[in-house]
A and B are shown apart, each in its own frame.
Chain A
Amino acid sequence: MFGWEFPPHILGGLGTASYGLTKGMSLQNDMEITFVIPKPHGDEDQSFLKIIGACNVPVVWKENDWNYVNDRIGSMMHPDEYFWLRNGIKYDYQRIYTNDLGCINFSGRYPDNLIEEISNYEAVASVLAHQLDFDIIHSHDWLTYPAGVFAKQISGKPLVIHVHATDFDRSRGQVNPTVYGIEKRGMDMADHIMTVSNLTRKIVIEKYHQDPRKVTTVHNAVEPLPNINSYTKSPRKDKVVTFLGRITMQKGPEYFVEAAYKVLQKTSGVRFVMAGSGDMMNAMIDLTAKRGIADRFHFTGFLKGKQVHEMLAESDVYIMPSVSEPFGISPLEAMQVGTPSIISKQSGCAEILTHAIKTDYWDIDAMADAIYAIVKNPAMYNSLKELGRDEVNNINWYDAGLKVRKIYESVM
């Protein structure tokens, strides 16, 4: 599998989904997974799969001695493996800047020269495709499509790509032609395409002109949260309604502010939290001031790891008014800790959730109504809390893994 992120060092939902899916698939005993990411940190959980860091794979032949290699990357990879992979170098990649080991320095993030990094990743894929023994190639998201396609061309093994998002989601329709080109080529070359929701499936079919028979939806799931009981709600007078995510156009933060304004006109005793950061944060702060609700509206900045779950558990309502969300795993996480969720119908997760309130992202009246009902009506709150938690606990990655397995078998 080619991926871009893997926990614990993640920047978005892609890493979480990659982890969950591979873990769920590893429960099938006859499945062995090798997961390639640009730059591992060494603290990834490798108990159920093998992780290869692209930054440790040589693409240019350099003579080095065993001990030197051991010194340099011994903590990540066995030096023997380095030398063995080195035999897979079949092409001349001298044009790429490499270090003393003949490896490429990856940032592993989303830098400005992302396109260059993607093509470097492709070079690594060629080495791996020559050297590794595998039955199927699985590429997660557009960053890794070129690598997957190249590996397919070299090895002749089937390629499955996993669409976690498309550029149409990220840009509200203003697609970047380069990105679209990469995505389209990946999809055209793939033997099968997996999408995280029917919503995304539709985009792939309509906007990328793919044969519907080649596109299958595999909904994401959620990992059971360890020590779930440690997240508690501290008693407080006011109810808390939370938005959590990148404060960007895609997530529809302005609709949350407007809905909050509607709620606060009718009732007090409710506070609103916008957690996260993003390019629209300052605009949102301005908007709350303009609406005169800044005293009831709080910004926390970027939250990570445990803080996220704590914030969710402390909330009385979680709201995700995304304009376009291929899946959206955070409502599932909120429901896990017993927080009722309001999600937009334009989110993929709305397809599999019953015990969450669904509204159109632009329908601030409906959103405000739902917030009001949950904070004012204990029966509503409790139903959503209990039934929602049960529902989410029944969505697991193992089942998703079985669906992926079926798709593998259909192309092999």
Chain B
Amino acid sequence: MRNICFYFQIHLPFRLKRYRFFEIGKDHYYYDDFQTGDRIRNVVDQSYLNANRTIAEMIRSSNGKFRCAFSISGVTLEQLEQYAPEVIDSFKELSRTGSVEFLAEPYGHSLSSVYDASEFERQVKMHADKIEALFGKRPTALFNAELIYSDEIGELVSKMGYKTMITDEAKHILGWKSPNYVYNHSYIPKLKLLVRNQKLSDDIAFRFSATSLTADGFINRIAALPEEDRVINLGMGYEVFGITQPAYTGIFEFLKALPYYAMEQQMNFVLPSELSKKSESAGPLSVPYPISWVGNDKDLTPWTGNDLQQEALNKLYAVGERVRMCTDKPLLLDWLILQSTDHFRYMSHKDPYGTHYESAYEAFMNYMNVLADFLERVDAQYPTTIENEELNELLKTINHQENEIERLENEIKKLRARKAKKEE
């Protein structure tokens, strides 16, 4: 019996508006609502709604045998709530079938797993809360932004109580090993790792129309794998259905036909959490340096490869601790949105995927202007002259002052009572 595990990624960045340096300190709204809204409308109409309908029908017609997982970033959920609430409803419907799992990921689709561990923890928790609030079930598997994974991140994730994590097929990590097994963390055996099968995933995501792929052809490809390869992980962006592969290519029909051919060949669809529960690990995977799911090298260079990106990331994460002490709601939301990996991808000279800027420099200039204003606002909350630790103490004092006053008042009352007694 072979298991096919499908997961789809959904992330839409908030696009920054053109923000010039002379607006720093004057304008605190950073987003291009028109562009963001327009993009969402486009992707919702062409992809998400159709794909959700297709999947709902697949689940129905296969009697719940077709199962798949979604990883939707927190900022995307917020956008959808704001611009296209019908998509949220349609996901809720899917979740009620019980054949769909929602995965956890850092709320802001951020690189925090690499740059700021406590921020990562906070965001994953935030995201899990959001998922639970929307779909009624707390995630147990984690799909990090850009599928970034390393031993260190795995350890963090395991400490947060997650049992499954998804990672990508990187040649320098797997070596001769096949991605079609379940593995575990290099020194924490209870954290299971699911490895995305890059070739088969890309066959659908990028080569579907060019190679005129058919559903039975695709299932036959899986069937032709060695008998021992029990697990096929297929992960891709959800916009593959309808945008990367437009509807006229027949991608939706392809998807719809998959369960039929799969079941004919005795294949099962499973969810990531089920997979890690019922499969034995084939052994540990050691990943000393972070890997991602982009490019041939599978490293972090698309986001951190040049000086501009490094500079922006360092400036941003330098204030992490400080921002987490703030209580200003708009500031905290901006903090999340400014962390999206996309902003840094646009600053890449070699691979600025999805950029709307004319050059990496322009992306950097615009982002740094926004960041400068953001940092000023953080500064206005608490002046930089105070050290974080000192500030923490002060905040504690302020937050506890009511309890303190109450305690003292009680004491005064007691003393007064005692005094009155004595005088009697």
Contacts and interface: CB of A to CB of B under 8 A. Distances in A.
Contacts of B307: 379, 382-383
Nearest to A266: B22
Interface stretch (A15-23, A42-50, A119-127, A365-373): A365-373
A354 B359 contact: yes
Interface residues of B, number: 19
Given A380-B365, A384-B361, A369 B308 contact: no
Contact of A265 (B22, B306, B362, B369): B22
Contacts of B182: none
Interface string B358-375: 110110110011000000
A329 interface: no
A369 B365 contact: yes
Interface in B291-314: 306-308, 310-312
Tell me the interface secondary structure of chain A in the complex: helix
B20 interface: yes
Nearest to B19: A369
Contacts of A372: 21
B349 interface: yes
A387 B311 contact: no
Interface in B149-167: none
A262 interface: yes
A282 interface: no
Contacts of B306: 383
Interface in A350-381: 354-355, 357-358, 365-366, 368-370, 372-373, 376-380
Contact of B20 (A358, A369, A378, A379): A369
Contacts of A377: 311, 368
Contacts of A376: 21
Contacts, number: 57
A369 B311 CA distance: 18
Interface in B98-116: none
Nearest to B306: A383
Nearest to A386: B307
A387 B368 CA distance: 20
A379 B369 CA distance: 14
Contacts of B368: 373, 377, 380
A387 B20 CA distance: 24
Given A357-B362, A369-B369, A373-B368, A380 B21 contact: no
Contacts of A365: 20, 22
Contacts of A262: 22
B22 A370 contact: no
Contacts of B24: 266
12 contacts: A354-B349, A357-B362, A366-B20, A368-B21, A369-B20, A369-B369, A370-B365, A373-B369, A378-B311, A379-B312, A380-B311, A380-B361
Interface of B: 20-22, 24, 306-308, 310-312, 349, 358-359, 361-362, 364-365, 368-369
Given A354-B349, A383-B306, 10 more contacts: A262-B22, A266-B21, A354-B359, A357-B361, A358-B358, A369-B365, A370-B365, A373-B368, A376-B21, A380-B365
